[in-house]
Structure 1
Amino acid sequence: MQIKGNTFIVTGGASGLGEGTVHELVRLGANVSVAALSKTLGDNAFYPGPVDITSEDAVKSAVAATIKRFGKLSGVINLGGVLKIARVRLP
């Protein structure tokens, strides 16, 4: 797939693997829309506002805002989620 000039939504793009993916897509010349609860720092990625990916309406709104901004959508990279680290206690 051609990356340069294509438009992608990256869920979870504000941190971790998602943020790294946003940086790389921008570096390769893609239009990137970051669907996350908080805004990513740096890059020239589009942030359509806070997006809770567990809400169908929020996702539809983010897709609509992305298409309005870039005129098309080529793909979605789903990296959204929350990692909770906890100590496991064995009996």
Structure 2
Amino acid sequence: MNNGTIRHMAIFTLKHPVNSEETAAFLRAGEDILSAIPVVRNFEVLRQVSAKCEYDFGFSMEFDNQEAYEAYNNHPSHQAFVRERWDTEVAGFQEIDFVK
């Protein structure tokens, strides 16, 4: 089961209305910036549909191993996105990391 691949998921709600242009711009920026980081595989932007969950969206991505995951976390593009967009526009979130 554990071949080292990590699936990282961040589920979140934004400060903007769900169907606003600000939300669409945030989701586009997240996909454009984060999926361009070389160690990121299978990046997806997801929309929550369950009434049981308080979050509206998700980013899902995979990394080949722990080293790749750490490289992503330390990558200047990721750090800038978190500082400039995530920290200012996200109202709440949960991160989940699975090994498969």
* Structure with the bigger percentage of helix: 2
* TM, length-normalised to structure 2: 0.30
**Bigger Rg, structure 1 or 2:** 1
Larger relative CO (CA 8 A, sep 6+): 1 or 2?
2
TM-score under structure 1 length normalisation: 0.32
Larger relative strand fraction: 2
